[in-house]
Structure 1
């Protein structure tokens, strides 16, 4: 997209946008308020509508595209935000802070997408919103939740207004409720990853309401799974909160009992195992982990929910490491985390796994190895406060003048 914008090839730009969203010409026309023939003529270079800057900005707003993404058209080269990092010597900003400042400025000032809502919502709007939710999830793997909270919350506010103000059929309304719930889940995860647990809890609660109103059992199970995960995290400081996690797991199992796939049962068993580990119940933890491995070994299914794709061998090994740590077995955790790190295919998940491994090394008495591991991975930590929290014990034992402490404090303040 940056390349075609740099060439000023707006017909190709429209065609790429439409293909990325999976929309027909008629659906894109419905989304932006054109006729199908207008879209067709623009894509074939027979009409120069978007060469009017007002129409170009209106088009970007209609598809919730951040206006700064049009920058290559102005610069005449396929420039990305990354290319600006470090160009101003008066700004002591690393890439993450620069991106956050730039994105935040457009959200608060020029706007991240349109402030208006369509008068009538149809299939094209639902497809566009689903594509946007998927793009946010993909970007999370690259940049981390901290950078995505603002645009996600902005879009969520707009979609809520669509629910309240727009006209739509009953069937479209149910789909709109579901996509709003999924956007709430995404926003909650971004808040969770950025360390804002209160906001995450609120958004997950809203997602449950949307799931109930839409009759979306799959979404309901996903939310309960995330709430169980968050309760386990709270349980690290207040073990009693782990009982809440078990209740969320039971609620999810009840909602999924008629359609759950093996991978779904594996995930819920992992959540249960973590809760038992926090409560110090080693026997129940081992039983739940055995269930998770047994269900996982049954393999994936065609009807697996798309969001459950993260349940992998690396994920199960990571949960085993987490359980071992909470049960006071750091040496076993080192082994599990080590195998998990080797199995991850996602760089971001591997970085988080390495942070957990560093903590396990420290707990097992291998201080030097832990600090070396932590220092090596710190440069890869961007928008995930959750990863930094895993490294907090290393900061506590590192001297204030150490290289690790200096880099960690810089990342924490960014």
Structure 2
């Protein structure tokens, strides 16, 4: 290119940009007129990069943007950081080139980089292998890699790593845990199943020994596991979760162990992950009702992970809904995050009953936080959604969402807001609207009505109600129900002046306890 110096009225060559950088690939000095960012030998060595990625040194993966992208567990961000690495020169690798390596279009790669995280394990593993990402930097296992005994899935609510609020980061293993599991022989196992009220005892016992007999898993086995979830749910509604929890833990452990060792097709694998996720959520609920609170969170974290592997949004939403329930009293801020995550996951397909349940979860958390305005807003939203009635697409796990559930959770929120009078009235309404198929809930709300009554000041009436309810509490296999009744006994037992009904209740409760 020729330019004219007006002052001297004579032509001269324009000055080329001066560069003093080294080639990021080999470290060699670049020529002063090299504006490509790569030396000639390295450019020649990578003329075939349209067909395959280059071999990169180990130090490539120490680049901070790459590390941060992989830590976020968003593979699209990792691809973008890979393309923009200084190793490739001053200009990022074009999306068309990288998309060609991965066997997709440029538009698809753009959506992967800028959209929600991809959760299909087979795709993630395939792309990681193409790019040569070291397995130690990944949050999933590569085919043929030695599996780790535990995988830290860290803060899991929401699909983005920044949506987790104040959640704990708990190491979760997809392998069955034997810690705290009640071990039983076959005869004791079947006896527990019968006591727990599970109808198809033979089906439950099927998983007790099947892992030792069959080297492969088929869709019929997955369907059978799914039917067990419904049996657990029905039996729990009628009798409570104490014995059921042992059975569910046992079945889940056997099925998870079998899945880790057996052979199955890709289609069966996705269905199996979804079924195991659903069973893990049910086991978490049973642990919650049986007052085994330490066991709840690991099962829910596992369920979320498995649901994402299977791309099953319904099970994932159920797991977050259950996590919102588990935390609303002790960690209300986390409960709100979990309910919000369930709202996001179910956007576009949530039915009115599911939205009712999620608004109730938020209302309970706001009540614990003493946010009266937000509580009232969420209760209005819950009732509006409930009035829209059932839907043919209602998920199975919202079967219990009805007028009683709305009134009952509103009553428990009134207790959190220190309004026992309003709580007692709402609980009476909930008990009047009770369903015979949800006997445990009926007993639970009657126990909470006793609590609301003594907190409202009528201790003698609360004691008389407690004496009448003790036989049903004794028959109900629910650690949660028993614990609330024990709390009432402990509270009235500390009263300095005890009326005759209070003394009668203390004597009756202690007699049953003994």
TM-score, with structure 1 as normaliser: 0.70
CA contact (8 A) 2:287 2:293 kept: yes
Unaligned runs of 5+ in 1: 1-64, 72-79, 83-95, 235-240
Q: After superposition, where does 1:9-408 map in structure 2 within 5 Å?
A: 67=187, 112-114=208-210, 116=212, 118-234=214-330, 241-345=331-435, 346-381=438-473, 382-399=476-493, 402-408=503-509
Change in 2 beyond 3 A, CA 1:193/1:176? same
Relative to structure 1, the CA distance from residue 67 to residue 329 in structure 2 (aligned partners, 3 Å threshold; closer, same or farther) is: same
Residue 315 of structure 1 and its aligned partner are, at CA, apart by: 0.2
Alpha-carbon deviations, 1:333-353, whole Å to 9, x = none? Answer: 111000001111122111001
Please give the root-mean-square deviation of Cα atoms over the aligned residues, in Å.
2.7
Tell me the secondary structure at the aligned position of residue 380 of structure 1: helix
CA distance in 1, matches of 2:299, 2:469: 30
Query: How far apart are the structure 2 equivalents of 1:128 and 1:214?
Result: 18
Cα distance between partner residues in 2 of 1:254 and 1:139: 31
Q: 1:273-308: CA deviations, max 9, x gaps? A: 000000000000000000000001011100010110
Q: Contact 2:241/2:289 (CA < 8 Å) preserved in 1?
A: yes
Distance in structure 2 (CA, Å) of the matches to 1:408 and 1:162: 44
Q: Check 1:113–1:267 CA distance in 2 against 1; reply closer, same or farther (3 A cut).
A: same
TM-superposed CA distance for 1:114, in Å, is: 4.2
Q: Is the 8 A contact 1:181 1:219 kept in 2?
A: yes
Q: How far apart are 1:399 and its partner, in Å?
A: 4.0
Q: Structure 1 residues 251, 409: closer, same or farther in 2, change over 3 A?
A: farther
Cα deviation for residue 135 of structure 1 reads 1.4
Quote the offset at 1:69 in angstroms. 9.1
TM-aligned CA deviation for residue 142 of structure 1:
2.9
1:360 deviates by 0.5
Which stretch shifts more, 307-316 or 225-234? 225-234
Which secondary structure does the structure 2 equivalent of 1:310 belong to? Answer: coil
Partners in 2 of 1:378 and 1:233 — Cα distance? 25
Distance 2:511 2:211 in 1: 35
SS for the counterpart of 2:374 is helix
* Structure 1 residue 319: Cα displacement: 1.0
Alpha-carbon displacement from aligned partner over 1:100-152 (angstroms, at most 9, x marks no partner): xxx9xx99xxx955452521111211121112222122221233211112211
- Size of the aligned set, in residue pairs, is 312
Q: Deviations over 1:307-341 (max 9, x none)?
A: 10100000000011011111111111111000001
More deviation, 317-326/270-279: 317-326
Gaps of 5+ in 2: 1-184, 495-501
Distance in 2 (CA, whole Å) between partners of 1:173 and 1:386 is: 35
- Give the superposition deviation at 1:166: 1.2
Higher relative contact order (CA 8 A, sep 6+): 1
* Pairwise CA distance, 1:262: 0.8
Cα deviation, residue 68, structure 1: 6.6
**1:172–1:411: structure 2 CA closer, same or farther, 3 Å change rule?**
farther
Flag the 1:393–1:362 CA change in 2: closer, same or farther, 3 A: farther
Most deviating of 388-397 and 144-153: 388-397
SS in 1 for 2:300: helix
Deviation string 1:162-219 (CA, Å, 9 cap, x unpaired) is 2211111111111111111111111111111111111111111111111111111111
CA–CA distance in 2 between the matches of 1:300 and 1:316?
A: 14
User: Aligned partners of 1:222, 1:364: CA distance in 2, in Å?
Assistant: 35
- 1:250 is displaced (CA, Å) by 0.8
| Maintained 8 Å contact 1:191/1:197 | yes
Bigger helix fraction: 1
Verify the 8 A CA contact 2:351 2:394 in the aligned structure 1: yes
Partner of 1:52: none
CA distance, structure 1, for counterparts of residue 287 and residue 189 of structure 2: 24
Highest CA radius of gyration, 1 or 2?
2
